[in-house]
Amino acid sequence: MEYVSKKEITYKEPLVISGFPGIGLVGSIASYHLLKNLKMEYVGYIEDPMIPEIMIVEEGIAYPPVRVYARDDLVIFFSDVMIPPELVYPMSIMISDRLKEINPKMVVTLEGFASMTPEKSFWVSSSEKILNSVKDEEIPALQLGMIGGISGALMKCCNDRDIPAACLITETVGLRPDPRGASKIIENLNKKYNLNADTEELIKEAESIEEKMKSLAKEHAKLMSKPKTENPMYM
């Protein structure tokens, strides 16, 4: 596994955000919206033979699936694909080792938390000191739960290297991509770190998805209400 640099940047204690696919895709939707809305620059990618060979194409340019975008005060890790379980730990070690070189002020991994009534967000950290520095009345500490995949592993690897890191978790139904949950994450990041990212587009997308789901539900109800007819079988 290696990091392939496309452009060098001189960092100034940047905020680092990691958004990989997870429950409700809230982390990856949020990170993708941030890098687009804040017009972040593509600076490199992570390469490994076990990463699925899927290239996303934007305006004719094909990009590797696990990419890094940055400016001098902000770094965003983004992936189009789920990271294979066997790569989670080595990728977390590699990323945290490289982050040690740029002295980030904070690493925030983004994750979804399945809930039937999604409305809250929570902080989690493997460091009690870091947890106490980020939690507040609006976003408290998660009292009980689990974090899987790159979000938890990267947070732990960073804190083990004295890099301040925490996971921002938001509740999501988790059955489909959740742009509303992603917008909640961005609003929380805006308040905490003054990112000034616009969430209007994500909210519109959420409303569009909800309207489509309502329409599909109505069509399904119509089909279910029609009288059943027996279909003859022929041998």
From residue 229, alpha-carbon distances to 62, 226, 232 in Å are 51, 9, 9
Tokens 């699936």 belong to residue = 65
Lowest pLDDT segment from 11-25, 82-96, 213-227: 213-227
Predicted confidence at residue 220, as pLDDT, reads 47
**What is the DSSP code string of 164-224?**
-EEEEEEEE--SS--HHHHHHHHHHHHHHH------HHHHHHHHHHHHHHHHHHHHHHHHH
**Average pLDDT of 10-17?**
96
**Average pLDDT of 170-199?**
89
Q: Give me 220's structure tokens.
A: 């399904």
pLDDT at 234 over 50: no
129/175: higher pLDDT: 129
CA dihedral 71, 67, 112, 158 (to 10 degrees): -70
pLDDT at 223 over 70: no
How far apart CA 56 and CA 31 sit, in angstroms, is 16
226/7: higher pLDDT: 7
pLDDT at 168 over 90: yes
Give per-residue pLDDT as tens, 187-217: 999 999 999 999 888 777 766 655 655 565 5
**Average pLDDT of 111-124?**
88
Whole-structure pTM value: 0.85
